[in-house]
Amino acid sequence: MVTNVQWAIISLSLFAGAFNIEIFRSGIEAIPESTVEAAESFGLSRWQIYRLVVLPMAIRVCLPALGNNLVNLVKTTNLAYAIAVPELLYVSKQIWSDSTNVREMMFFVLFAYLFLVFVLVAILNGIERRLAIPGFGQQGGH
């Protein structure tokens, strides 16, 4: 029997996966033809080109969009409230119906999510910076 938590994981995976497909597609398509041709002229096989040339670049192109998706997903997880998954919102509701402090709990939840999102964004920006290749993208000194 699938529990509510597992249902939440399954449906949110489908939800986020739908985005990721499009993100990866656009990332792979963004790799210029000449790059692939250059790799071909080195004598790399199709799989090698994909693994050594296209994918490393595509991931860097995708990264901001993937990060976006992740942030969105974090914000969406609280929909699991509707199926009684004990996540932040659900637990908060239990607390405020016990101790009738709706306002305080509401603002706590809001700021907890904001904190979560900002921490996540900071981490993702760090990853982007670490993975950055000099000369590839990011012109204008970000």
Partner 1 sequence: MLRYRDAFTLPAIFSSAGFLQQVPRGSFSPRGEGARRADEGALLPERESGPSPARLDDLRSRRRRIRGERRERDRKSWPHVLSPEGRGGAESITGRIGFGRLALLFVLVVGVGAGVAVAQQPAAVKATSLEVLVRWAPLLLWGFGFNILISIMAMAIGTVAGVPVGIAQLSRFKPLRIAAGVVTQLFRNSPWLVLLFLCVFLIPFEIRIFGLRIPFPDWAKATMGFALPVMANTSEIARGAIQSVATGQWDSARALGLTRRQALYLVIMPQCVKRMLPPWMNLYSLVAMSTVNASVVGVSEMITLTSQVHAAEGSRPELLAPLYAFALACFFIYCYPIGKWTQALERRYQTSS
Site residues for partner 1 per CB under 8 A: 4, 7-8, 11-12, 14-15, 18-19, 21-23, 25-27, 29-30, 32-38, 40-41, 61-65, 67-69, 71-72, 75-76, 78-84, 89, 102-103, 106-107, 109-110, 113-114, 117-118, 121, 124-125, 128, 136-140, 142
What are the C-alpha distances in Å from 35 to residues 4, 15, 44, 59? 47, 33, 12, 15
- What minimum distance in Å lies between the beta carbon of 122 and partner 1? 11
Q: Minimal distance in Å, beta carbon 134 to partner 1? A: 13
Helices and strands (DSSP H and E) totals, the chain: 6, 0
The one-letter code for the residue type at 97 is S
Nearer to partner 1, 53 or 61 (CB): 61
The distance of closest approach from Cβ of residue 51 to partner 1 in the complex, given in angstroms and rounded to an integer, is: 18
Residues with Cβ < 8 Å from 58, sequence gap 6 or more? Answer: 24, 27, 28, 30, 31
